[in-house]
Amino acid sequence: MTNLRFRRQFPYHLMILPGLLFILIYNYVPMTGIVMAFERFVPSKGMYLSPWVGWKNFEFMLNMPGIYQVIWNTVFIALMKIIAGVVVPVVITLLLYEAKSRWFKSSVQTIVYFPHFLSWIILGGIFVDILSPSTGMLNEFLGWFGIKPIYFLGDVNWFPFTLVGTETWKEFGYGTIVYLAALTGINPTLYEAATMDGAGRFKQAVHVTLPGLLPMIVLMTILSLGNVLNAGFDQVFNLYSAQVYRSGDIIDTLVYRIGMEDANYGVATAVGLFKSVVSFVMISVSYGLAYRFTSYRIF
């Protein structure tokens, strides 16, 4: 029986083999480079002949000027993105669900999904032009109301919120897919009962639709906690500059500068390993909470 079952499933094992090889080659083999976090890495000697320094790279990391500000920036920006990444898609989902025109609903969905598929290299150039304090479209619009130009990408106070706003604009449409799918699981008789009780469209949305979405909202919020140290390297790298390091520099961009610009590979690896360990703990906790509160499990 076991051999028959294996022969039947053998084609499926072959189908999954390329994916497993890809993960092995590009995700697990490079993990051997973690050893550089404990070395004073010398490129000419390689990973296995460079001098061993133990925990000194981590000590250097914790004593770096501004390291705690960078950690705070990462957590603050990531948390704001998580909150906005849940609230905005839910609001848009409720509005789309109430739209009666199928053509209008499909058109809006297509439009708001599209930015998700654009890279931050493209969007970075677009936002630099749109948010320019001198010629940007947004500042010209604000000028009609007598508001002075705002340097969104150069002001340390505005930059984190600019990151959150542009990230939310890019991803909220794609995020509505999950919530629109969750709406299909709501029993239609609940709306009929609410109508018979005299509930209008707004009360139906508040007392039927939103509670029906609540388990998915809780699940997506909990799962997002695993990304609390992922503030978005691609976005920040394409939008930030030295004048906003104080509020916009995150762990990933710091690793890039230390490793690629300063060629201090050992410290860069130590910072990256620190982030990975914390992220692993947060992901484990988030999946544990997801299973406890929503019975969600991967396997």
Is the CB of residue 253 less than 8 Å from the CB of residue 272? no
**Range from 10-24, 50-64, 162-176, 281-295 carrying the lowest mean pLDDT:** 281-295
Please, which contacts does 270-274 make with residues 24 or more away whose CB atoms are closer than 8 Å?
270/37, 270/38, 270/57, 270/58, 270/60, 270/61, 271/61, 272/37, 273/34, 273/37, 274/58, 274/61
Specify the pLDDT at position 283.
82
Specify the pLDDT at position 2.
64
What 8-state DSSP symbol labels residue 216?
H
**Total number of domains in the chain:** 2
Residue whose token pair is 């995020």? 175
Residues 254 and 265: their CA atoms lie apart, in Å, by: 12
Residue whose token pair is 């032009």? 129
Same domain, 27 and 72: no
Q: Does residue 296 have a pLDDT over 70?
A: no
- Look at residue 116 and tell me if it is in a domain: yes
Same domain, 237 and 178: yes
Same domain, 49 and 121: no
Distances (CA, A) of 274 to 94, 124, 148: 40, 28, 42
Residues 285 and 170: their CA atoms lie apart, in Å, by: 28
Specify the pLDDT at position 226.
74
pLDDT for 195-236, tens place per residue?
888 888 888 888 888 888 888 888 888 778 777 778 788 999
Q: Does residue 278 have a pLDDT over 60?
A: yes
> Average model confidence (pLDDT) for the chain?
86
In which band, very low, low, confident or very high, does the pLDDT at 142 lie, cut at 50, 70 and 90? confident
In which band, very low, low, confident or very high, does the pLDDT at 297 lie, cut at 50, 70 and 90? low
- Look at residue 62 and tell me if it is in a domain: no
Same domain, 25 and 162: no
Same domain, 100 and 207: yes
- Look at residue 133 and tell me if it is in a domain: yes
CATH of the domain at 272: 1.10.3720.10
Q: Does residue 155 have a pLDDT over 70?
A: yes
Task: Count Cβ atoms within 10 A of the Cβ of residue 48 and give its class: 0-12 exposed, 13-18 middle, 19 or more buried.
Answer: exposed
Residues 144 and 75: their CA atoms lie apart, in Å, by: 36
pLDDT for 66-122, tens place per residue?
889 999 999 999 999 999 988 999 999 888 888 778 888 888 888 888 888 889 999
Residues 107 and 99: their CA atoms lie apart, in Å, by: 12
**CB hemisphere CA count around 5 (13 angstroms):** 2
pLDDT for 250-265, tens place per residue?
989 999 999 888 888 8
**Over residues 141-164, mean pLDDT:** 90
- Look at residue 61 and tell me if it is in a domain: no
Q: Give percent of the chain above pLDDT 70.
A: 97
Domain end call among 54, 79, 95: 54
Q: Does residue 290 have a pLDDT over 80?
A: no
Chain center to CA of 295: 23
pLDDT higher at 296 or 72? 72
Specify the pLDDT at position 292.
78
Which runs of E-coded beta strand occur in the chain?
none
**Over residues 142-164, mean pLDDT:** 90
pTM to 2 decimals? 0.85
Specify the pLDDT at position 298.
59
Q: Which domain holds residue 73?
A: 67-294
Same domain, 92 and 221: yes
Specify the pLDDT at position 159.
93
Specify the pLDDT at position 41.
87
Same domain, 206 and 163: yes
